[in-house]
Copies of this chain bind each other. A is one copy, B any other.
Amino acid sequence: MINKTVKNAQEALQGVQDGMTFMLGGFGLCGIPENAIKELLRLGVKDLTCISNNAGVDDYGIGLLLQKRQVKKMIASYVGENAEFERQLLSGELDVELIPQGTLAERIRAGGAGIPAFFTPAGYGTEVGEGKESREFNGKMYLMEQWLKADFSFVKAWKGDTAGNLIYKGTARNFNPMMAAAGKITVAEVEELVPAGELDPNMIHTPGIYVQRIFQGEKYEKRIEQRTVRTA
C-alpha cells in the first residue's frame, strides 16, 4: 500500500503559501487539527482564505490565526464564539462569507466528489440566495450552490494508518471526512498512527486515497467549550 506518512506537522505543511485557500475540520473546537494550526501560526503564512464551520474561540483554534491577522477571508456557518472575529468583521479587516451549515457541508462534499453544482432549499428567499440561480422542483424552490475546494485540507482523526485511512471518534467527525476529499493536498493528523493492516477495512471513515500526508499529532489539548455535567 502507498505510504503517506510524514514525520511531523512541519513536514506535512510543506508547500503552504501566502494567499492559499485552506479547509480546516472541526465543529467548534471539537475535532480541529490542533497541530496543523500551530504550524500555520509558526509559519506565519498570511492572506489566507479559511473554510471551516466555525472560527474557533478568541484564544484557540482558528481564533489564533485571526489574532495574528493571518486570515483575509473566512468562509463559515457560525462564528458566534469569537469576539475578535466579530471585531475584525465589523471593522472591515476581515472578509466573511456566511453559509448555511448544511450547504457548507454539501458544497465541500461536492468539491471532493466532482459535482460542480447542486440544488438545495436552504437560504431560498433570504440574503443567502441573492445573486444565485433559483429553480423550482416539485413545487418547491431551491438555490443552485457550487462546489468548494481547497489548496490544502487539514483534518484531524482519532486513528489513522500509514495508507492514509482514517477513523474519527464521536462528533469529532463532523466536517473532517468531506474536507479530506476536497483538498488538493490533504494533511491528516491523528492521535494514533498505526501500520496499514491494523484498521478493519470495513470500518474506515475516510479511505486513504483522499489523504496525501499523515502524521501523529504531538499533543491534543481538546479544549471543551461548554462543559455541561449532571450529578450522578
Contact = CB atoms under 8 A, between A and B. Distances in A.
Given A170-B202, A202-B169, A202-B170, A118 B117 contact: yes
Interface in A10-67: none
A133 B232 CA distance: 60
A146 interface: yes
A171 to B, nearest CB: 10
A215 interface: no
A143 to B, nearest CB: 11
Nearest to A140: B116
B121 A118 contact: no
Q: Is the interface of A mostly helix, strand, loop or mixed?
A: mixed
A88 interface: no
Interface string A78-110: 000000000000000000000000000010001
Nearest to A116: B137
A175 interface: no
Contacts of A170: 202
A115 interface: yes
Contacts of A120: 114-115
A203 interface: yes
A82 to B, nearest CB: 29
B116 A138 contact: yes
Nearest to A201: B170
Contacts of A167: 202
Contacts of A146: 137
A152 interface: no
Given A116-B142, A137-B146, 4 more contacts: A110-B118, A117-B118, A118-B118, A167-B202
